Structure 1
Amino acid sequence: MEFHVRPGGVLRGRLRVPGDKSISHRAIMLGALAEGETRISGFLEGADALATLRTFRAMGVDIDGPHQGRVTVQGVGLHGLRAPEGPLDLGNSGTSMRLLCGLLAGQSFDTTLTGDASLSRRPMRRVIDPLAAMGAVIESGQGGTAPLTVRGGQPLHGIDYELPVASAQVKSALLLAGLYARGRTCVTEPAPTRDHTERMLAGFGYPVQQEGRRVCIEGGGRLRGGEIEVPADISSAAFFLVGASIAEGSDITLEHVGMNPTRTGVVEILRLMGADIQVLNEREVGGEPVADLRVRSAPLKGIAIPEALVPLAIDEFPVLFIAAACAEGETLLTGAEELRVKESDRIAVMAKGLTSLGVTAEPQPDGMRIVGQPDWSGGRVHSHGDHRIAMAFTMAATRAREPIEIEDCANVNTSFPGFVELAGDAGLALSRGDAERRAQQRSNSP
């Protein structure tokens, strides 16, 4: 699939982007391990979250839905999962694979986890090694990549672990293994990361002790099912926050956006750049802070992005690079090595794409230097199958002189089903195309 975006466009109106992917994953996982029924609303019906849902169905959990974002999970308790009939295919979802490593380490049966070509290249040692210190046995491919086989029946014990690199996925995997471990499991972070797992464990009635950047749980407790309302995903909202900031005359309100303080780095960074973002109607839903965000176009300026904000915006940097390319002056990002091992090498791929559009973008080992300019040329950009890069470059067209074509966009459905339609409703001149058909047409033309 290709995206084709005509230059220009003004973003206006009120939008609600799909549900938060991180929370949707965890709602299925903890709902399955709980005792009793869990009713979820706002569930993200994207490929990644659906992979998690299918995984628990394959392990004997009765799940009804999704129907318009509503899912009902009949929990089987911590020890009620059954061995799947074959390998569990997690598609492109690194969150599913890493969190499941911890959860499955406490089961009585063996499980094999597989994924697509992109997921099969992503590093898993960062979660395998600390889980091994708890007594888990996880076999991987060469270089610590998928497919992974998690051996069941291993007695787990709690550990006190200091994360070498801030990672919510590794932290969550260890806490999920800690549910099954003897004694106390503690994780200390070098910097704050998203805390959805801790909040949701507490929401399911599981005691969580937290002091600063250290979180601990005791094994052997119980989870109780209940109601979960998933807020709109701030990572999906980020594309429209940037698009409306850089497209002159834009004024858009994004409704019911999750404002977890471990996820709001994108708002803080854009405000430091001069963005006009208002936080309205603040409230709390199911233990998560939520608000409406109104954003109007504003002149942006380049900044040195504070490293303390990097873990709070790690998934939003592809579109933040677009904002930097439109800002006056230089923007410098450091301390973001994690971007090298996402669905793609997001530093290298974004630098190449921006350069092809005429923007000065210099990749660094742990970040990027970007020199902004008023407008850009158009052209073809390859997303390398990375959904966030594909969506980021659609927003670039608001400042381009010519159309932008973006290759390899099918994975947008992993996090943002309906993106094309919603962006079109907001005012972006975006359409889908079939890459193979267009290539054939070009080859047949005289």
Structure 2
Amino acid sequence: MKYVMINPSKLSGKVQVPTSKSACHRAVICAGLSNGISNISNVVFSEDVEATCEAMKNLGVRIKKEKDSLQVRGLEKLKPVNSSMDCSESGSTLRFLIPIGATTGEKLTFKGKGKLVERPLKCYYNIFDEQKLKYDNAGGKLPLTIKGKLKSGEYKIRGDVSSQFISGLMFALPLLDGDSKIIITTELESKPYVDLTMDMLKNYGVQIENREYKEFIIRGNQNYKSSDCEVEGDYSQAAFWLAAGLLGNDIVCEGLDINSLQGDKAILNIIESMNGKISIEGNKVKAIPSKTKGTIIDASQCPDLVPVLTSLAALSEGTTEIVNAARLRIKESDRLSAISTELNRLGADIEEKEDGLIIRGKESLKGGEVQSWNDHRIAMALAVASIKCTEPVIIKDASCVKKSYPDFWQHFRTLGGNIDEWSLGQ
């Protein structure tokens, strides 16, 4: 168990933003479903990305790992080499691979650990029931064993639980013999993640017709075509440094695509709505120290930004309200409860609602000992809040950042952070 003690100080400097975990998952899967060799460059090997690589290898895909790149030799027809699929703690790996695995017709068991074991999969269970696919789980939790082959046709699915279910079907349905249609039965949240999936599929030769995010038409018997891909920088990770720059000194985030489809690019507009100052030059975004103000933040399309925006709002003038955020309760932790509980321990004034937060900003926070809830985004958001604390901040289970951003603490230190790290058993 790793502890980090942060002695409050302002951060400044330049940081190369890690590459998009969301884009990397998608590139590895599309390359793995292609006949031929694809090269994926600019890869950060977070625990989640490693989980997807291992899962695809378990389906017969050959993946050669270099320092910051992957060579993927895909298969048009997957051949599972092991019936057990370990998804570690990666929700994307699990939800993307379940329908892909179900195209093989083989018996497969999906395992995981941590919070992933209990994250909801009912959207898939409804499909399995309708198609009479055999499956078994541990009282609704992992491990999940499936046996049977997906059939083409109509797929009705909610759009307000997780876009990962829709993306998972988009990867799998083009491989089936007949044409399929995904019908969204509620308002679709996290549309940008679906856009990211369709854009990556297009890069690998697969076409999907989008009918106003209400229906998606997917032709069967499509062939993925091998393609090289350079993974772009991740706005959800840049958000931590941009918030740190607003609260401290200038921070420049490098490696971002200003034309990105990532939903978390919304951080730029949200910062402006909070009176924060940023400048953009090419692939660089600079955050400039600002007296930020409260606003209303709709989290429906960018839920991963909520933890760091809560830290920023807690140190902004006035009141901020985060709305349409109920889905955060079924992430790596109950993020609404986690971030409000831990920031309040540091002296913030945050009220938790069923589907959001009310944050009454303060000039500074006190400090103290907090927990990460084994959630990478909670740990990093608490680190950002430490900048304007009057006393040290100790974060328990700080090593959870490896899930998405293995170099976070190193980068924090490079930007001027004053931190001590130590471990206590397991």
Per the alignment, residue 5 of structure 1 pairs with 6
Task: Give the corresponding residue for 2:80.
Answer: 83
Closer, same or farther in 2 for the Cα pair 1:375/1:338, shift >3 Å?
A: same
For 2:134 and 2:322, how far apart are their aligned partners in 1?
37
Superposed displacement of residue 160, structure 1: 4.9
Contact 1:102 1:131 in 2 (8 A): no
Following superposition, the deviation at residue 48 of structure 1 comes to 0.7
Query: TM-score, normalised to structure 1's length?
Result: 0.89
Match for 1:102 among 99, 104, 125? Answer: 99
Q: 1:402 aligns with which of 391, 394, 419?
A: 391
Give a deviation string over 1:162-220, Cα, whole Å, max 9, x none. 53416320110121231234222234453424122100111111122123324321121
- State the alpha-carbon separation in 2 of the partners of residues 203 and 409 from structure 1: 37
The one of 325, 345, 352 equivalent to 1:356 is 345
**Counterpart of 1:303 in structure 2: which amino acid?**
T
Q: How does 1:140-151 map to 2 (within 5 A)?
A: 140-142=137-139, 144-151=140-147
Is 2:291 aligned against 1:299? yes
For 2:221, the equivalent position in structure 1 comes to: 220
Of 373, 376, 380, the match for 1:391:
380
User: Aligned equivalents of 1:209 and 1:226: distance in 2?
Assistant: 21
* Alpha-carbon offset, residue 266 of structure 1: 2.1
Answer yes or no: is the 8 Å Cα contact 2:11–2:251 preserved in 1.
Answer: no
Stretch of structure 1 that moved more, 53-62 or 40-49:
53-62
Percent identity (aligned):
27
Work out the CA distance in 2 between the residues paired with 1:34 and 1:135: 29
Preserved contact between residue 174 and residue 206 of structure 2 (Cα < 8 Å): no
Name 2:29's counterpart in structure 1: 29
More displaced, 100-109 or 374-383?
100-109
1:190 maps to what in 2? 188
CA contact 1:334–1:367 (8 Å) conserved in 2: yes
Q: Distance in 1 between matches of 2:381 and 2:419?
A: 12
SS in 1 for 2:420: strand
**Distance in 2 of aligned mates of 1:107 and 1:160:** 18
Aligned 8 A contact 1:327 1:372 in 2: yes
Unaligned runs of 5+ in 2: none
Residue pair 1:266, 1:312 contacting (<8 A) in 2 also? no
Q: What corresponds to 2:69 in structure 1? A: 70
Partner of 1:278: 279
Query: How far apart in 1 are the matches of 2:251 and 2:175?
Result: 46
TM-score normalised to structure 2 length: 0.93
Q: Residue 328 of structure 1: CA displacement?
A: 0.5
Amino acid at match of 1:71: L
| Partner deviation per Cα, 1:391-435 (whole Å, 9 max, x = no partner) | 111111110000000011222111001111111111222332213
1:112-261 to 2 correspondence within 5 Å? 112-130=109-127, 132-133=129-130, 136-142=133-139, 144-152=140-148, 154-161=149-156, 163-165=158-160, 167-181=162-176, 182-188=178-184, 189-191=187-189, 192-194=191-193, 195-213=195-213, 214-247=215-248, 250-258=249-257, 259-260=260-261
Instruction: Report deviation, 1:335.
Output: 1.0
Q: Does 1:426 align with 2:415?
A: yes
Q: Partners in 1 of 2:234 and 2:68 — Cα distance?
A: 13
Decide which of 304, 309, 322 is 2:311's aligned counterpart: 322
Letter in 1 for 2:225: R
Q: For structure 1, which segment, 424-433 or 227-236, has the greater mean C-alpha deviation from structure 2 after superposition?
A: 424-433
How far apart are 1:42 and its partner, in Å?
1.2
Cα distance change on mapping 1:423 and 1:61 into 2, 3 Å:
same
In 2, the alpha carbon distance for the partners of 1:279 and 1:133 equals 50
- Asked if the contact 1:102/1:175 (under 8 Å) is kept, the reply is no
Q: Cα RMSD over matched residues?
A: 1.8
- Give 1:135 deviation, angstroms: 5.7
State the alpha-carbon separation in 1 of the partners of residues 112 and 80 from structure 2.
18
Q: 1:285 aligns to what?
A: none
**Residue 336 of structure 2 is aligned with which of 347, 350, 373?**
347
Query: Quick one: structure 1 residues 155 and 298, their matched pair in 2 at CA, closer, same or farther if it must change by over 3 Å?
Result: closer
1:409 & 1:185 partners in 2: Cα distance?
43
Number of matched pairs: 417
Secondary structure in 2 matching 1:179 = helix
SS at match of 1:165: coil
Measure the CA separation in 1 of the matches of 2:19 and 2:135. 32
SS at match of 1:40: strand
Displacement after TM superposition at 1:156 (Å) = 0.7
Query: What is the letter of the counterpart of residue 2 of structure 1?
Result: Y
The amino acid of 2:188's aligned partner reads P
The runs of 5 or more residues in structure 1 that have no matched partner are 282-290, 438-446
Structure 1 residues 150 and 160: alpha-carbon distance in aligned structure 2, compared to 1, 3 A threshold:
closer
